[in-house]
Amino acid sequence: MAYKRTDRINALLRHELQRLIQQEVKDRRVAFATVTGVETSPDLRHARVFVSVLAGEDEARAALKALQDARKYFRHELAQRTELRYVPDLDFARDTTLEHANRIEALLRQAKEQDRR
């Protein structure tokens, strides 16, 4: 199956943003942030960047605020590092998939223990 252009751009943006966050950003609030995915609009003008933060709720909120505040920096750097004609506007959102998976796993474990009784 052939990839759509948006899929390739999503992968490129995810890779470059993760590199920027790990290697370039010196803000301690984003130290444990990981880019888990990017969803670009069909017109390639907007991109939602999903970020997982391995920290508490307060630290996660602070990391997302720091990333939101650095959007112009990220767009500028993406324009320099990629050959995209237009770099989309970035919107950072928290990825809670891991938390949901952990919750489901705990519920399944609890149900299994109750069945044993």
* Structural domain spans, the chain: 5-116
User: If you average pLDDT over every residue of the chain, what do you get?
Assistant: 88
Q: How many Cβ atoms are within 10 Å of 79's Cβ, its own excluded?
A: 13
pLDDT for position 2: 47
Q: How many Cβ atoms are within 10 Å of 16's Cβ, its own excluded?
A: 19
Q: How many Cβ atoms are within 10 Å of 67's Cβ, its own excluded?
A: 27
Band (65; pLDDT cuts 50, 70, 90):
very high
Residues 6+ apart with CB under 8 A from 62: 29
Band (3; pLDDT cuts 50, 70, 90):
low
CATH number of 5-116: 3.30.300.20
